[in-house]
Amino acid sequence: METVKRNKYRSPEASAFYMAGLTLLGIVVITFIISLFWTPYSPDATDASAKLLAPCLEHPFGTDNFGRDVLSRVMAASKYTIYISAAGVAIALILGTVAGIPAGYFGGYIDKGIMLLGNSIMCFPGILLALVAVAVFGASVGNVIWALGLVFAPTFARVCRVGTMEIKELDYITHARVMGVKPYRIMAMHIFPNLVPQLLPATVIGLANMTLFESGMSYLGLGVQPPDASFGKMLSDSQAYIRVAPWLVIFPALMLVFYILGLYFISEGLRVNLAKGGKR
Amino acid sequence: MQGKVGYFVGKLVELLVTLLLVSLLVFAAFSIIPGDTARIMLGPDASEAQVNLLRTQLGLDKPLVARYFSWLFGILTFNPGTSYAYNMSVGELISQRLPVTIGMSAIAMVMVVLISYPLAVLSARKPGRLGDQVCSVIGHVLFAIPPYVASLLLILLASSLFSLVTVGNYVAPSDDFSGFVGCLLLPSFAIALPKIAMSFKFLRSSIIEQRASDYVRTSKSHGLSDLKILVRHVLPNSNVSSITIISIILSDILGGSLIVEQVFNLPGLGRLLLSAISRRDFPLLSGIVFYLAFITVLLYFLSDILAAITDPRIRLK
Amino acid sequence: MTRHIHIVKVHHLTLSFPTRKNPNPKPVLDDVDFGIRDGEILGLIGNSGCGKTMTSLAIAGLLPENAEITSGSIKFAGKNLLEMSPKERRAMLGKDIGMIFQEPSTALDPLMVIGKQLEEVLTAHKENNLSKEERRQAIIDMLKLVGFPNAEEIMTRYPHQLSGGQRQRVLIAGAALLKPRLLICDEPTSSLDTVTTISILELLKELCHKLHITILFISHDLSVVRGFCDRVMVMRNGKIVDRDTASDILTNPRNAFTAELLTNARLDTRILGFEPIKVDYEKEPVLTAKDITAGYGRSLFENIKNKKSKDAGINMVLKGVSLDVYPNEILGLIGGSGSGKTTLIRSLLGLLPHTGTVSIKSDRIGVIFQDPVSCLNPAHTIKWHMLEALNASSRAKEIKGTGTYEERKARTRARIIEVLDICGLGEEYLTRHPNELSGGQRQRVAIAMCLVQDPSLIIADEPFSSLDASSSAELLKLVTDINREQHTAFLLITHNIHIVRQIAPRVIVMSDGKICEEGITSDVLNDPKSEAASALLAAERQIHGSLS
Amino acid sequence: MKRSFIKSAVIASVIAIAAASFAGCTNKAGAANNNAVVGITQEPAIFDPHTVVAAGDREIIFNVYEGLYKYDSKGNLNPCLATDVAISDDASVYTFTIREGVKFHDGSDLDAADVVYSLKRAAGLLDNQDGTALVQELDSIKDVTAVDGGKVAVTLESGNTELLSYFTTGIIPEGYDNCQAAPVGTGPFKFESYNPGQSVVVVKNDNYWQKGLPYLDKVTFKVCADMDAGLTELAAGSIDIFPYLTTDRANQLDKAKYNILSNGSNMVQIFALNNSVEPLNNIKVRQAINYAVSRKDVISVTMDGAGVELTTAMSPAMGSYYDTSLDGTFNQDVEKAKALLAEAGYENGFDITCTVPSSYLIHVNTAVELASELKAVGINMEIKQVDWATWLEKVYTNRQYETTVIALTSDYAPYDVLERYQSTASGNFINYKNDKVDELMGKIPSIADTKEKTELYHQVLKLLTDDACSVYLQDPTTITAVSTRLEGYNVYPMYVQDMSQVKVVGN
């Protein structure tokens, strides 16, 4: 029981993961930032005379079936990909915690009710849910985000619930109750911070899943509206050209892989660190 | 045992309530989506008269709530009604598509287990070593590829490398079962890929965790061989924790087959669902969604039961 | 086989954990050299982290992969273990060398019935090929031997259905099943209460004689070795600093460190400098509990509502307990595990549904729990903890007083630092996180959090039991100081009668959910009326008898 | 020991993968036989010759039912179940002579009674019907009677010379009312089975009245999820014929295995402008938009050049009815567009939305191209994809939209093409209103003289173009891939798959 500085701990394995993750994610984020100020061509400008050009000097990533510059589109797409996944996860996270922590803390009927709702959403085809949202509020990025948030909230709720159930049994929570701290404060200040270790990896994985789900929605015509694009949408649009114009598939796919792989490495790093450090 | 029985009953009730909730959700969703079944069936050039005629024929003029309850009654009496678009019994339609979806899910699941398990065991033996890292990275790459892209790539590979016909030659199980399995293998693989990565990731960490636990040390001090410890202690324990994740993966696969069906042009539930949505075919739509929901909930239920059986510590409320 | 005087001979063993960064670090075991005589019980004593566990693992051959033996040798019955192949060494485990560990709760596979797990020991060693029936019989015999009259039934039980003591017995059974010549016991009793400890020790002694098993007994508590070990070695920082026969070590320790260990183990009041204070039993009690009944299982309220609390079949842990705690007294509450002490506390704190009345004079009542690990929130700094406690207390206002934000902030900080200082923690701890503190320090913070609310009563639930001797001694001193200077009453729950005798003027003995005896400590402890009390005393004498 | 265990496990999994990769080497579809597989992208729904509307259904049952008259691949109307027709001078009575020796699929002979029943049913004149015609255009029929000598007389409420093309509607046996479940007609193929979401199967009608036809024993109409799924199936060789491809898709096919046929589809792809919403109710704005658009680029992007530019509501495929003088009315002229916008008071453009059905890639792509071109004149068009059902309700039925892109199909009859531009027509989803047009369209049916009629049609077209009621983009070429093992497949100028002429020439 001698003094051990666990939170200062940083395993070499973890830092390796961080390095890899940040590099990959960095590529995507930097393209995103640049795209805000400058893209080689306007990503939406069609040019019937320059259709399906293979990568060349003036079009490093080639052009698509509208004669649009793929590089510019990839840059622009990074915006939507990041935006949608981030915002969607944020919503899911908020909904999940707000529902999950009380469920775990109070238990009983509150728990039953919340989990029941969660389960029903989970076994409800996400596509249908998305379609409803889009049909009701019209197809727009915002609605896609809400749909995604809703579809993914239950998973976060589960994590929070289970974590809370464990934590609330610990002495420091009991102590807080004895000291007369209000329940909402216990949940917010005492329990939530200790859920973060479990939530972080879940969040990162959530981000990755979001991008995949979003691309799936684009494949079905929901999701991002043309001429805007996300990586997923670019992929689904270009799949027909996979034989004649592979570059239409390769570059967005590459970016998508970078993005998700980067996120995964970072989450891996977090997990390793927490596993090594957070253990009792 | 008394306790366990009660526990199961409780779970069963939960299952039923969930299903009811789902059916309500479906119904609400359906009533919100715009679109007129009759108009869709007849197309843009049809006259109002024709549309109205069909509408009354389908009983679409009845109030929504009435339709819901009649449908619910139908479901409860195992008679989900007749599809508007196909005017066939929904049950029949679904049972036609079921083999594909179930078959694909089953095959995919087998692949997941067959591939992820040994890999997990292997890389958990020496965590952090090269092989382990490689497996993890590949796993993540797999996870990063959208299913339909994976499908396309697989099709390309199969057709260009092995010059195989992989698309469109769907064989009904009744005709030729091995053929049926054959034509499902590739699509199933496409679905399985990311899930393999997922379950590998999970199993690996849980095996590593179990290896470090006290009872393993005890068994060592009893002089058990590593293999014995692995098979008799580590795997069973990590399985207990895997049950939930496996059930989640399975339900994912069920839902995720949709897009792959599209690419491989297989007559599965997913495509039926899509067409039911796009044609506002409520009996069919609700039938399918309810059916899928039922399977999913059942999976969760079973996994709970399984956990309760395999894990003697399970808390019985 | 040939008889060796030393069944195990450890020759100048040096062991370290080299890493890529630091190829030759400070060794964990530094030139350790000793022998274990055939048939003796050798005690290996030292504070946590002194290397005693590593020594045992080295002998058993279960060292972690990254450990490296830089020099020395280990001979078992003449054979050099370090030259053996892993396979051979594994073959010895369980057959020649048995082992039991500290944490019985997690040391058994939760998914396997006891019978199967024990059977594995037999099946693992092919050479003695027994039939299924023979195996079963061997196991039953062994279980009977370790004190399970209902052996057959136990075999079909799962670990979670057994108590800590029972599990430890099962583990011992497993270790002794093949009658190994050496049995290594790594802190087998430190997580058990006194009574159980005694019984386990007796069991081990019995095995040693009946089956002629040599025992290497590892512990941090010097007191247990008395009357149990034949010889004792004291370890510190990977070195053996003292070795002698048990009796000599305990009577006149030659080594300073040994002496210190002894003092802490003895909790000698004179050395700790503690003079008892007057308690005025005329004053109205700070806490009065009347006829408390509580139990787990279904919510008690339901049962009462349905008028079937009796036949509800829920196990009543408390049956009509009443007690008073008077201002600035220290009231000891003792009883074996399962006597309902903890349940009582939780009821008093209103954490459990219960019947009967609990009236607390002021609402100011603090609590300290047993586990120093989970008593603080790992996510926050000590300062946050203190503030949280302060703000939660009913006196937050008057402590902070009025004035500008800065003024109030300053006052608050002053108060917190003051309290921490009382608890022997400097200002620098404010910014620390719990996981940077040792168990003792954490418990101090916990106490400080109570003090900052300036309570009239602090309920302490086994605060010492999971600290090693030295830290618990210091903590005990702190408690007495606070009691003297802050005039705070304590309700001290413990299974360690010795502590009670030292500092608690009045004591309550609990068993089976009832108060079976109550009164002035000396009277109660000198001639106990209830057999529960006398049982506790008997056990306690075994250990501490000669010390006080 | 342990190793071996893990090895075996690994091997097992390897086998699994291997098996997966060698999947599908099972059976090749469309095998060596006298059958053909046709890929269709629309789920068939209705097989009743009178209630059928969706083009996707028509193209199938074209092989099962036949009418008194029938189109050929050139778009000419030829006698079929009728040998000829006599039209009264005021065009109010049509008298058909019924062909002898025709047998229904159920074996019964075709006679006047069947025709009467069928036409009455189509016109909603049966006793059990409420009088609303199932085939809308035949609503004007007053009565149908059998005249002696195997003749049938059809009496109309008012003279209508345009009606003959609607007598292509299917003839079914007298009293038969189960066409949906079990279609019975006189066509070259018998309806065999319908497997929802998968296929419709028709088999050879052995006693078809045209001797020697058809050649094929069995035709399977196979449902493909979408064009790309169909494409992969083509590449895989599990489909023989796949219509409605785009050129860039078709180019990916192996020329040795597939002939690519293309033909005007008689479809009119229109960038529809809702004439009743701001600012599109302003003719100058509509003209500006017309000038802003480059039809050539649209065709190049969407059809890879395979399409005919349109400036008016009719496809050149309609022959003489099409007014060639209108060609090139709206050649792209950005400056002029800007000028017109300025006149209309929108010198710095405006925002507008375009609601397109997501299920039709060609329309979505068109919208994308249009958006990019309109930006050039300062019009900022946002694209909203909706699924087909939503499009039908929101856009087509309720007309709640600003602009959309869609292709208008029609029978091969000028009246059917232009009928929707009457202000009262249910198909007038662009809310076009021009009294002159209404008047002309009202007059046309009563006119017998073809020349005069053509003249009137030209006037209508002129008006539509002058009003710039919408942007007419193209008549997209129908591109059909046909396996080289088949020949005799004809592309029709309308939504039809005629399999009767197709024969297998080797595998």
User: Per residue in C180-190, pLDDT tens?
Assistant: 888 998 888 77
Q: Do B93 and D225 touch (CB under 8 A)?
A: no
How long a stretch of residues is chain C? 548
Write the Ramachandran bin of D220: left for phi over 0, alpha for psi from -120 to 50, otherwise beta: beta
Looking at residue A93, what is its pLDDT?
A: 93
Query: Strand, coil or helix: what is C16?
Result: strand
Query: Can you read off the two tokens belonging to residue C342?
Result: 């903890």
| Range(s) of the domain holding residue A190 | 12-36+69-276
For A170, nearest residue in chain C (alpha carbons): C374
Q: Is A51 an 8 Å CB contact of chain D?
A: yes
Gap from A193 CA to chain B (nearest CA, Å): 24
Query: pLDDT, tens digit, for every residue of A251-263?
Result: 888 888 888 788 8
Q: Is D368 an 8 Å CB contact of chain A?
A: yes
Contacts of A259 in chain B (CB under 8 A): 144
d(CA C152, CA C171): 16
For chain C, the chains sharing at least 3 beta-carbon pairs closer than 8 angstroms are A, B
Tell me which residue of D59, D314, D60 sits closest to D194, measured CA to CA: D60
Average pLDDT, chain C: 80
Quick one: what percent of chain D has pLDDT higher than 70?
Answer: 92
Query: pLDDT, tens digit, for every residue of C310-360?
Result: 444 455 677 888 888 888 888 888 877 777 787 888 888 877 777 788 887
Query: Strand, coil or helix: what is A249?
Result: helix
Q: What's the predicted TM-score (pTM) here? A: 0.74
Query: Is there a contact between D381 and D366 (Cβ–Cβ < 8 Å)?
Result: no
When scoring B11, B16, B25, B205 by the number of chain A Cβ atoms within 10 A, the one with the most, hence best to mutate, is B25
For chain B, the chains sharing at least 3 beta-carbon pairs closer than 8 angstroms are A, C, D
Amino acid at B170: Y
Residues belonging to chain A with any Cβ–Cβ distance to chain B shorter than 8 Å: 13, 112, 116-117, 119-129, 131-132, 135-136, 208, 212, 215-216, 219-220, 232, 235-236, 239, 242-243, 249, 253, 256-257, 259-261, 264-265, 268, 271
Q: How far is residue B86 CA from its own chain's centroid?
A: 25
Query: Strand, coil or helix: what is C411?
Result: helix
Of residues B34, B140, B293, nearest to A264 (C-beta): B140
Query: pLDDT, tens digit, for every residue of B87-108?
Result: 678 888 888 888 888 888 888 8
For tokens 């031997």, what's the residue?
C145
d(CA A73, CA A59): 11
Q: Do D392 and B40 touch (CB under 8 A)?
A: yes
Q: Is D226 an 8 Å CB contact of chain A?
A: no
Quick one: what percent of chain A has pLDDT higher than 70?
Answer: 86
When scoring C89, C109, C169 by the number of chain B Cβ atoms within 10 A, the one with the most, hence best to mutate, is C109
Query: Is there a contact between D102 and D116 (Cβ–Cβ < 8 Å)?
Result: no
Peptide bond into D279 cis (omega under 30): yes
Of residues C107, C125, C158, nearest to B215 (C-beta): C107
Which of A184-193, C263-272, D264-273, D418-427 has the highest average model confidence (pLDDT)? Answer: A184-193
Distances (CA, A) of B291 to A125, B83, B84, B283, D127: 11, 15, 18, 12, 43
Backbone φ, ψ for residue B169 (5° rounding): -95, 60
Average of per-residue pLDDT across C510-523: 83
Looking at residue D12, what is its pLDDT?
A: 47
Looking at residue D10, what is its pLDDT?
A: 47
Helix (H) or strand (E) holding D220: strand D218-223
Of the listed ranges A93-102, C377-386, D140-149, the least confidently predicted one is: D140-149
Query: Can you read off the two tokens belonging to residue A189?
Result: 């200040």
d(CA A64, CA A74): 11
Query: Strand, coil or helix: what is D283?
Result: helix
Burial class (CB in 10 A: 0-12, 13-18, 19+), B73: exposed
Query: pLDDT, tens digit, for every residue of A191-235?
Result: 998 888 788 778 877 887 787 778 777 766 677 777 788 887 888
Tell me which residue of D230, D242, D297 sits closest to D479, measured CA to CA: D242
Question: C302: pLDDT confidence band, cut at 50, 70 and 90?
Answer: very low
Contacts of C435 in chain A (CB under 8 A): 4-7
Looking at residue C305, what is its pLDDT?
A: 43
Whether residue A191 is contained in a domain is answered as yes
Whether residue A236 is contained in a domain is answered as yes
Looking at residue D187, what is its pLDDT?
A: 85
For D252, nearest residue in chain A (alpha carbons): A244
Query: Can you read off the two tokens belonging to residue B239?
Result: 């399985």
The DSSP secondary structure of A141-161, one letter per residue, reads HHHHHHHHHHHHHHHHHHHHH
- Angle at Cα A26 formed by Cα A22 and Cα A28, nearest 5°? 130
Which of A24-28, A264-268, C503-507 has the highest average model confidence (pLDDT)? Answer: A24-28
Contacts of B33 in chain A (CB under 8 A): 131-132, 135-136
Tell me which residue of D273, D318, D310 sits closest to D457, measured CA to CA: D318
Contacts of D427 in chain B (CB under 8 A): 44-45
Of residues B44, B165, B182, nearest to D28 (C-beta): B165
Which residues does chain B have with pLDDT short of 50? Answer: 1-2, 316-317
Looking at residue A97, what is its pLDDT?
A: 93
For tokens 């500008």, what's the residue?
C404
Counts for chain D of helices (H) and strands (E), in that order = 13, 22
Question: A135: pLDDT confidence band, cut at 50, 70 and 90?
Answer: low
For tokens 């029936």, what's the residue?
C133
Kindly tell me if the per-residue pLDDT of D423 is higher than 90.
no
* Partner residues linked to D309 by β-bridges: D474
Whether residue A2 is contained in a domain is answered as no
Query: Can you read off the two tokens belonging to residue D123?
Result: 């016109």
Interface of A with D in 132-151 (CB under 8 A): 135, 138-140
Q: How many CB pairs under 8 A join A and B?
A: 113
d(CA C370, CA C373): 9
Query: Is there a contact between C488 and C455 (Cβ–Cβ < 8 Å)?
Result: yes
Gap from B86 CA to chain A (nearest CA, Å): 20
Residues belonging to chain C with any Cβ–Cβ distance to chain A shorter than 8 Å: 48-49, 349, 351, 363, 365-367, 369-380, 388-389, 392-394, 433, 435-440, 446, 449, 453, 467-468, 471
When scoring C56, C63, C97, C111 by the number of chain B Cβ atoms within 10 A, the one with the most, hence best to mutate, is C111
Query: Can you read off the two tokens belonging to residue A233?
Result: 């949408």
Contacts of A65 in chain D (CB under 8 A): 248, 301, 365
* Partner residues linked to C239 by β-bridges: C236
Of the listed ranges B156-165, C97-106, D108-117, D340-349, the least confidently predicted one is: B156-165
Contact of chains D and A by CB distance (3 or more pairs under 8 angstroms): yes
Query: Can you read off the two tokens belonging to residue C189?
Result: 């009793």
Query: Is there a contact between A127 and A162 (Cβ–Cβ < 8 Å)?
Result: no
Look at chain A and report how many structural domains it folds into: 1
Kindly tell me if the per-residue pLDDT of C301 is higher than 60.
no
Contact of chains B and C by CB distance (3 or more pairs under 8 angstroms): yes
A 10 A CB-CB count for C304 gives 14
Question: C547: pLDDT confidence band, cut at 50, 70 and 90?
Answer: very low
Helices B90-125 and D2-21: angle between axes, nearest 10 degrees: 140
Whether residue A231 is contained in a domain is answered as yes
Tell me which residue of D287, D305, D285, D288 sits closest to D296, measured CA to CA: D305
Looking at residue D27, what is its pLDDT?
A: 39
For chain D, the chains sharing at least 3 beta-carbon pairs closer than 8 angstroms are A, B
Looking at residue A91, what is its pLDDT?
A: 93
Q: How far is residue C108 CA from its own chain's centroid?
A: 19
Q: Do C158 and B223 touch (CB under 8 A)?
A: no
Whether residue A182 is contained in a domain is answered as yes
Query: pLDDT, tens digit, for every residue of C129-138?
Result: 778 888 888 8
Distances (CA, A) of C403 to C400, C408, D246: 9, 6, 80
For chain A, the chains sharing at least 3 beta-carbon pairs closer than 8 angstroms are B, C, D
Looking at residue C203, what is its pLDDT?
A: 86
Burial class (CB in 10 A: 0-12, 13-18, 19+), A135: buried
Contact of chains C and D by CB distance (3 or more pairs under 8 angstroms): no
Query: Is there a contact between A25 and A266 (Cβ–Cβ < 8 Å)?
Result: yes
d(CA C186, CA A235): 61
Quick one: what percent of chain A has pLDDT higher than 90?
Answer: 8
Average of per-residue pLDDT across C272-282: 66
Whether residue A6 is contained in a domain is answered as no
Kindly tell me if the per-residue pLDDT of C390 is higher than 80.
yes
Backbone φ, ψ for residue B164 (5° rounding): -105, 145
Query: Is there a contact between C494 and C500 (Cβ–Cβ < 8 Å)?
Result: yes
Gap from B302 CA to chain D (nearest CA, Å): 26
Q: In terms of DSSP bridges, do strands D403-408 and C489-494 run parallel, antiparallel, or are they unpaired?
A: unpaired
Of the listed ranges A91-105, A144-158, C363-377, D360-374, the least confidently predicted one is: C363-377
ipTM of the shown complex: 0.70
d(CA C249, CA C259): 9
d(CA D252, CA A249): 16
Query: Is there a contact between A44 and A224 (Cβ–Cβ < 8 Å)?
Result: no
Q: Do C449 and A2 touch (CB under 8 A)?
A: no
Looking at residue C57, what is its pLDDT?
A: 86
Interface of B with D in 239-298 (CB under 8 A): 261-263, 265, 267, 271-272, 275, 277-280
Gap from B244 CA to chain C (nearest CA, Å): 17
d(CA B91, CA B71): 13
d(CA C7, CA B151): 67
Greatest CA separation for chain C: 86
Distances (CA, A) of A231 to A131, A250, A261, B309, C518: 20, 11, 14, 45, 76
CATH of the domain at A106: 1.10.3720.10
Kindly tell me if the per-residue pLDDT of C265 is higher than 50.
yes
Gap from A3 CA to chain C (nearest CA, Å): 5
Quick one: what percent of chain C has pLDDT higher than 70?
Answer: 89
**Sign of the torsion formed by the C-alpha atoms of B31, B33, B36 and B41:** negative
Gap from D199 CA to chain B (nearest CA, Å): 10
Kindly tell me if the per-residue pLDDT of C225 is higher than 80.
no
d(CA B87, CA C93): 73
Gap from D341 CA to chain B (nearest CA, Å): 33
Contact residues for D286 (Cβ-Cβ < 8 A; gap 6+): D273, D275, D280, D467, D468, D469, D470, D471
Whether residue A46 is contained in a domain is answered as no
Kindly tell me if the per-residue pLDDT of D44 is higher than 80.
no
Gap from D187 CA to chain B (nearest CA, Å): 23
Looking at residue A101, what is its pLDDT?
A: 92
Whether residue A44 is contained in a domain is answered as no
Q: In terms of DSSP bridges, do strands C79-80 and C68-76 run parallel, antiparallel, or are they unpaired?
A: antiparallel
